[in-house]
A and B are shown apart, each in its own frame.
Chain A
């Protein structure tokens, strides 16, 4: 098979990663209109938790994944209580500045504790290497990544569409004031969603180490990708985030493979064109 399928495969795996990193932000932004630029700091926290537990305490890789999820979720709950809660009614700019301040602090703290070098992880042997499939070399880890992300997506969609909690979330995203009027405790709902979304980001950060590496600049580098996914996909839309993450992942990998001279130029251009075409995102309504 031609290399285009290999590029497509890598792009999809990368897109899945971006989806995991950004879906939480998309939902919380859609619900509270809170611009949380610190979202990728939670992802970075998840990554460092995995690294520490594996290299420092000898935990197996799979056992560290839930730990990454829980650590990021807990950290987000604390920050939400202490800082974010006061800024729900503030302007975009104040929210941006508060959260970018948290990003700066997280980057400096990570650099202080772990240094600025890339963190190594040793994957279990059954996740390494690749499988030859119809003339293609498919990385086992990437397949694992796609499988995990698909599983999480299905769980998310089913939970949102069929459970009572999911219905409340959809109502709050659709019209926050109306949802309040109907007696839904939007603040509590938001806190839970926020924790879940940050937890997913933490999981994404842990899974991302093998693909993109982990160093303190992660919180800022991937913030830009995540924001692109969220704004292109449309706020509060899981399907939109998924589609945008796939488009972005494939075009980024394809761009780097076919026209390496352009670098990241292509995805920024894709974002600007998509936003000019649809300012509220692919699946956005507002």
Chain B
């Protein structure tokens, strides 16, 4: 029997899927803001949304090696889709997420045909270009998007008809956190599947993968569409919880921020993006309180420090420390 050979990789994947105690601690800790910092729940909901957005980028950048400087395009499509649905009289939040996911997913699928053809600098430029084109398009189509003034008149209905969105962000944070958790589970399962392994193969060597019979382009298109879809959901969460959509959701700044968050936390680890989002958003909240103009000085310094000292991000550095100390995470 050749079961031995089949069990090998299977068991390896199974071992990765197993839930670790540190993960349980992490997700329990996400409930702490309800108790410890109830005044910061609005910020916490923003962090959860940013974390979801970073997660979507991690799927393509961390696992598949596709550098994108225009990922905000999909975030923005989702934000506008959910916002418009609500403005036109359908403010039910969960189906709003679905609408946004479909819209962003379709846009992601269409653009993925362009993405697969490029690598390196051309890829960076193409993703940047797609983001910029979309922002300019949204700016000129002000009859639809409200242009520079933003989309007004969004009203999100209570979740399940029960939980209203309050001023303090209780519902917003609970809602964003629940969506983040569910999607995280899906992404985690996906990345520990044979498909996830194939993506890592593409990241490590894009030329050899087709040689062993992997449909590289189809894989890239699939994961790019999934990432776009998740980014769209993150955008929809933002427009539903803040009840406004501004052009800034499509901006280059947002695309750059999300890359910074991911690198800060560590790529290709799922949790790296989440931790990066927390650190980045909290730091921005604190530092811009001190001196808003100088915020980017510190971010720049942080970026240089991360690239020079912690090439694998915070989580990579922690893992290294843990290995040295002999602790198994």
Q: Point out residues on A near B: beta carbons under 8 Å.
A: 29, 35, 83, 86-87, 92-94, 96-98, 100-109, 111-112, 116, 220, 224, 227-228, 230-231, 235, 261-265, 268-269, 271-272, 275-276, 279-280
The total of interchain contacts (Cβ-Cβ below 8 angstroms) comes to 117
B182 interface hit (Cβ, 8 Å): no
How many whole Å from A56's CB to the nearest CB in chain B?
A: 22
B140 interface hit (Cβ, 8 Å): yes
Residue in contact with A100 in the complex, picked from B61, B129, B140, B256, CB distance below 8 Å:
B256
Interface stretch of the complex, out of B210-218, B236-244, B296-304, B318-326: B296-304
CB contacts (< 8 Å) of B282 on chain A: these are none
CB contacts (< 8 Å) of B120 on chain A: these are 92
How many whole Å from A103's CB to the nearest CB in chain B?
A: 7
How many whole Å from A195's CB to the nearest CB in chain B?
A: 21
CA distance A16 to B158 in the complex (A): 57
Residue in contact with A227 in the complex, picked from B125, B133, B140, B300, CB distance below 8 Å:
B125
CA distance A92 to B65 in the complex (A): 10
Q: Is the CB of B125 within 8 A of A231?
A: yes
Number of interface residues of B (CB under 8 A): 41
CB contacts (< 8 Å) of A271 on chain B: these are 125, 129
Residue in contact with B296 in the complex, picked from A92, A104, A269, CB distance below 8 Å:
A104
How many whole Å from B40's CB to the nearest CB in chain A?
A: 25
CA distance A87 to B304 in the complex (A): 12
Q: Is the CB of B128 within 8 A of A224?
A: yes
Residue in contact with A105 in the complex, picked from B69, B140, B301, B306, CB distance below 8 Å:
B301
CA distance A231 to B127 in the complex (A): 13
Q: Is the CB of A265 within 8 A of B294?
A: no
Known contacts A35-B121, A104-B296, A265-B133; A97 and B259 CB within 8 A of each other = yes
What would 7 A/B residue contacts be, using CB atoms closer than 8 Å? A102-B300, A108-B294, A231-B121, A265-B136, A272-B129, A279-B117, A280-B122
How many whole Å from A191's CB to the nearest CB in chain B?
A: 20
CA distance A184 to B308 in the complex (A): 29
Most buried by B among A93, A103, A269: A93
Q: Is the interface of B mostly helix, strand, loop or mixed?
A: helix
How many whole Å from A44's CB to the nearest CB in chain B?
A: 14
Residue in contact with B122 in the complex, picked from A94, A105, A262, A275, CB distance below 8 Å:
A275
CB contacts (< 8 Å) of A35 on chain B: these are 121, 124
CA distance A261 to B304 in the complex (A): 39
CB contacts (< 8 Å) of A87 on chain B: these are 307
B114 interface hit (Cβ, 8 Å): yes
B260 interface hit (Cβ, 8 Å): yes
B230 interface hit (Cβ, 8 Å): no
Q: Is the interface of A mostly helix, strand, loop or mixed?
A: helix
How many whole Å from B11's CB to the nearest CB in chain A?
A: 32
Q: Is the CB of A265 within 8 A of B140?
A: yes
Known contacts A97-B263, A263-B140, A269-B133; A112 and B126 CB within 8 A of each other = no
Q: Is the CB of B130 within 8 A of A272?
A: yes
B168 interface hit (Cβ, 8 Å): no
Known contacts A231-B122, A271-B129; A262 and B295 CB within 8 A of each other = no
B139 interface hit (Cβ, 8 Å): yes
Known contacts A272-B133, A275-B122, A275-B125; A93 and B303 CB within 8 A of each other = no
Q: Is the CB of B136 within 8 A of A263?
A: yes
Most buried by A among B129, B252, B263, B311: B129
CB contacts (< 8 Å) of A98 on chain B: these are 303-304, 307-308
How many whole Å from A156's CB to the nearest CB in chain B?
A: 22
Q: Is the CB of A101 within 8 A of B301?
A: yes
How many whole Å from A286's CB to the nearest CB in chain B?
A: 10
Q: Is the CB of A92 within 8 A of B132?
A: no
CB nearest neighbor in B for A103: B300
B293 interface hit (Cβ, 8 Å): yes
CB contacts (< 8 Å) of B300 on chain A: these are 100-106, 108
CA distance A112 to B295 in the complex (A): 11
CB nearest neighbor in A for B260: A97
B26 interface hit (Cβ, 8 Å): no
CB contacts (< 8 Å) of A280 on chain B: these are 122
CB contacts (< 8 Å) of B61 on chain A: these are 93
Known contacts A86-B308, A102-B300, A108-B295; A228 and B136 CB within 8 A of each other = no
CA distance A258 to B117 in the complex (A): 33
CA distance A109 to B295 in the complex (A): 11
CA distance A157 to B120 in the complex (A): 28
Most buried by B among A103, A107, A275, A280: A275
How many whole Å from A235's CB to the nearest CB in chain B?
A: 7
Q: Is the CB of A268 within 8 A of B133?
A: yes
Q: Is the CB of B297 within 8 A of A108?
A: yes
CB contacts (< 8 Å) of A268 on chain B: these are 129, 132-133, 136
CA distance A87 to B260 in the complex (A): 18
Q: Is the CB of B136 within 8 A of A94?
A: no
Residue in contact with A102 in the complex, picked from B136, B252, B263, B304, CB distance below 8 Å:
B304
CB contacts (< 8 Å) of A97 on chain B: these are 259-260, 263, 303, 306-307
How many whole Å from A105's CB to the nearest CB in chain B?
A: 4
CB contacts (< 8 Å) of A111 on chain B: these are 293-294
